[in-house]
Structure 1
């Protein structure tokens, strides 16, 4: 039987090679899509517009697939896909080559923003959800000190007298709320929007004393990641570095998409709890 972790590591290498080769491939669909967008801006042909949309529809699917959302929520992935298409259409009408970016980059922000706005309208974290998440983090820290190791999900749930479903929902809600807060609109002029993540300090412009703090934090994060189980490290690598969707990660590791979401949320909670303490 094939080891899922080894299979995942092989996929990382293949994925990197594929990305390198696609950059040099003359028939890259995205490159053709960029040409179609420029053609549409000039001729406003419906046929050209339809062809451009078809090229960039996979981008919508990719963005939706990477959102770590609760499958039991009122918005399904199919709904988010429709909102993403609205964002794509909006990007196609608003794009101007004078912006100095590719259409794919411009469209990504529009698509992601449209989807996030739809999720935000469903409501953020309630006080009870925030309280439950903080209780989980505190319990993790207490049990870590007690056992000198990472507590299992079962141990945490038993300690708190909650179900595994409530545990995973609390972690998922917190991580999604963090994503929403980063996408908060600070300014919008009709053609572009400035979000909170856009104004995060540039590492090259950070004062020397703050740079030392940042480097220390980065070293601490690396140390914490090295202590994670191999499968959890692989999930983080596939999600954040290789930018795979949750479904694709599930195929690699022979896990369901919901299970990948659970493991990702659990891993992020573990790292955050250790950084706080």
Structure 2
């Protein structure tokens, strides 16, 4: 049974492309879904250092879109936009990893900060301050903030994984798969992750919580969030990175258990 989420015109172009690589069909699909490339690119740029060129990211995103065209299964009851978004994100992450944008020294510092958040917030059951994290690590607040700013790329990548080659396995938690499918253990794992993240978001400092909400629930751009908060764009990026580090640290024990 063909995907009933597509219009008749879209299905005709999909079949033309997947069955015979029809150029006209390919052009139609590219034009139809290019806004998705721009959207995902913009979302990634929120978390990337200024040294990363937007055109490079957009090029990686476009490669992900082409990959999605080839691998999308028309018989699955799934919106192409949802599937393609994961493929595009995976292509960007692969490209960033391949080019090794982040120095090893910064990666090691990031892991230490994540561990500090995990240990301190488990002990205190509340969001710890920069002063508490700095004291635990034996560094100054200025050094902590500098590392967080440098770690923007790492915090973005740490929350995602490359989509699998199998169409039935897309993304770290298979968020777009059939919610009823999978083993009881996997469903428990996913529920535990969601509960851990929900609790962690609830404990975020107010400004970090606002940034997460505006970024991921209201789809505001980095510059728009800066305007809302009345702070600089770099400050929003720093708040975003700290929030993601806290959220990732909150899931570490779950990953280790499973």
What TM-score, normalized by structure 2, do the two folds share? 0.65
Q: Report what 2:49 is aligned to.
A: 71
CA distances 1:3-26 after superposition (whole Å, capped 9, x unpaired) = xxxxxxxxxxxxxxxxxxxxxxxx
Q: Report what 2:256 is aligned to.
A: none
Q: Report what 2:146 is aligned to.
A: 165
- Decide whether aligned partners of structure 1 residues 118 and 234 sit closer, same or farther in structure 2, where only a CA change above 3 A counts: same
1:270 and 1:79 map into 2 onto residues whose CA distance is 29
Q: Secondary structure at the match of 2:78?
A: coil
- Equivalent residues of 2:37, 2:58 under 8 A apart: yes
- Equivalent residues of 2:63, 2:91 under 8 A apart: yes
Aligned pair partner of 1:178 in 158, 162, 174: 158
Q: Report what 1:18 is aligned to.
A: none
Q: Report what 1:111 is aligned to.
A: 88
Q: Report what 1:240 is aligned to.
A: 216
Q: Secondary structure at the match of 2:75?
A: helix
Structure 2 unpaired stretches of 5+: 254-258
Aligned pair partner of 1:263 in 201, 224, 239: 239
- Decide whether aligned partners of structure 1 residues 163 and 130 sit closer, same or farther in structure 2, where only a CA change above 3 A counts: closer
What TM-score, normalized by structure 1, do the two folds share? 0.62
- Decide whether aligned partners of structure 1 residues 214 and 57 sit closer, same or farther in structure 2, where only a CA change above 3 A counts: closer
2:217 and 2:108 map into 1 onto residues whose CA distance is 31
Q: Report what 1:40 is aligned to.
A: 13
Show the 5 A alignment for 1:1-277.
36-43=9-16, 46-47=23-24, 49-67=26-44, 68-73=46-51, 75-123=52-100, 127-137=104-114, 150-152=128-130, 156=134, 160-161=139-140, 162=143, 164-170=145-151, 172-180=152-160, 182-183=161-162, 185=164, 187-188=165-166, 192=167, 194=169, 197-198=172-173, 205-206=183-184, 211=188, 221-272=197-248
Cα distance, 1:214 vs. partner?
7.8
- Equivalent residues of 1:125, 1:174 under 8 A apart: yes
2:86 and 2:222 map into 1 onto residues whose CA distance is 20
CA distances 1:24-76 after superposition (whole Å, capped 9, x unpaired) = xxxxxxx8x85553232355664554343233212111111222543244x42
- Residues paired across the two proteins, number: 236
- Equivalent residues of 2:14, 2:25 under 8 A apart: no
1:138 and 1:178 map into 2 onto residues whose CA distance is 13
1:143 and 1:38 map into 2 onto residues whose CA distance is 50
Q: Highest CA radius of gyration, 1 or 2?
A: 1
1:242 and 1:235 map into 2 onto residues whose CA distance is 10
1:83 and 1:61 map into 2 onto residues whose CA distance is 11
Cα distance, 1:138 vs. partner?
5.9
Question: RMSD value over aligned CA atoms?
Answer: 4.4
